[in-house]
Structure 1
Amino acid sequence: MTIKAVVFDFGGVLIDWSPEYLFRHLIQDESERRWFLTHVCSMEWVVRQDGGQTIAEGTAELIAKFPDHEALIRAFYERWHEMIGGVLEDGVATLEKLEAADVPLFGLTNWSAETFPYAWDNFPVLRRFRDIVVSGRVKLAKPDPAIFAEMYQRIAAQLPGIEAHELVFIDDNLKNVQAANALGWHGVHHTSAAQTEARLRELSLPV
């Protein structure tokens, strides 16, 4: 088996991102915080911005539904950078092993087009990829097969003739991994760097 390229998700694999980092300061009670992040600023809502809806539109939509929570809703994107804990060093170490072996590396991330520039400016590791598909820029989001098609087209432009079974995709979200598998890619569910590297070695990658 020959793997010709590896595609990385960013959040949860290379970048430590969690709304908890901000909202545990804004909502001290854990059950209240859990309710707010499940029912108000939910991941489903976040993915709409990741998929191309503007932050202004998303914020206004949510405030109309939950006017009593306006200040907290506005804080989500106004203080978004406080949700980033930094780089995940073990994930970066995996990337560096692949990079050292000249494995072509690409990025496929669900990220708002409006907040991605902050990550680009602050985390140089993101500049080590041959190309990156940012969901907010292409107005598609994982696990939609269309965003994988966009990634595949960009990879094929650099590696002509590459086939789906020659691609590995690493993501911490199981639904995204399953979407990649359904397209014939080798999806790797990232739960720890050790487990991810073990799976990569099974695929004959040098990590």
Structure 2
Amino acid sequence: MRAPRAVLWDVGNVIVDWSPRRLFTKIFQEPAACDRFLSSVCTMDWHAETDRGVSPEENTVRLAAQHPEFEAEIRAWWDRWDEMFDGAIPETEAVMEALAERGVPQFALTNMSHRAWPGVRAMSPVFRHLRDSIVSAEEGLIKPDPAIYEVVLRRAGLESQDFLFIDDSAPNIEAARAMGFHVHRFEEPARLWPALTAFGLLAA
């Protein structure tokens, strides 16, 4: 397997810091109430429907009809979406700038609503280095479905082994590995530069 020559980035919690809990700890005074809400009402499975292309409005209305007692809190998910973010991750920004200086092609593959993507992209100047961005809601596909990785390869005109794929999700990483991508699971920002050095994409 040859060394990678391009980088495929996940976005949430790899390039930008995103956590629904950041918003809902402001709304729920008791941590246990916040936990229950995020585990049984505004769940990640529910949110994934907007990643698949369902509009935020439609997804919100559906859930509010099931949990009318939480309608205001459910609506806050999109009404106060920006409060879930804490900007870009500095270590990732530094790596993306260094890769750009070396001429390494960079792409993004994100599970995200098409509504959210423009605002996220505006959070950091490093997004200008992306040659292409595959957004799940625009494709009607989400990771870890192998079909969305095929979209990446087709649009980039590269083979899977040409890419180092960086994501914080284990299922997404394993799906890419099974398709022949080089992979790095993003867990500690400080480990990112050494990882890319080990793959020969950056200097130590």
Q: Same fold (TM over 0.5)?
A: yes
Partner residue in 2 for 1:9:
10
Q: Deviations over 1:124-149 (max 9, x none)?
A: 32222000001111111111111111
Gapped regions of structure 2 (runs ≥ 5):
none
The TM-score with structure 2 as length reference comes to 0.94
Paired AA for residue 184 in structure 2? V
Alignment match, 2:43: 42
Deviations 1:68-111 (A, max 9, x none): 11110000001101111111111111111211111100011111
Q: Deviating runs (4+, > 3 A) in structure 1? A: none
The aligned residue for residue 166 of structure 2 is 170
Q: Is the 8 A contact 2:88 2:123 kept in 1?
A: no
Cα distance in 2 for residues equivalent to 1:28 and 1:152 = 46
Aligned residue in 1 for 2:20: 19
Which of 168, 187, 198 is matched with 1:202 structurally? 198
The answer for the alignment partner of 1:133 in structure 2 is 134
What CA distance in whole angstroms lies between the structure 2 residues aligned with 1:92 and 1:105? 12
Percentage of matched positions with identical amino acids: 37
Pairing 1:36-115 to 2, within 5 Å after superposition? 36-115=37-116
The 2-side partners of 1:54 and 1:27 are apart by 26
Contact 2:11 2:110 in 1 (8 A): yes
Aligned partners of 1:189 and 1:196 also within 8 Å: no
Write the distance in 2 (CA, Å) between the matches of 1:2 and 1:170: 15
What SS does the corresponding residue of 2:193 show, helix, strand or coil? helix
How many correspondences in the alignment?
A: 202
CA distance in 2, matches of 1:104, 1:79: 34
Q: Is the 8 A contact 1:94 1:193 kept in 2?
A: no
How far 1:19 moved relative to its partner?
Answer: 0.8
Matched, 1:182 2:175: no
Aligned-partner SS, 1:131: strand
- Root-mean-square deviation (Å): 1.3
**79-88 or 113-122, larger mean C-alpha shift:** 113-122
SS at match of 1:108: strand
Does the Cα contact within 8 Å between 1:16 and 1:86 map onto a contact in 2? yes
Q: Given the two structures, how large is their TM-score scaled by the length of structure 1?
A: 0.93
What code does the residue aligned with 2:66 have?
K
1:28 deviates by 1.6
Q: Which moved more, 1:102-111 or 1:117-126?
A: 117-126
* Alpha-carbon distance in 2 for matches of 1:124, 1:64: 39
- Residue 131 of structure 1 aligns with an amino acid whose one-letter code is D
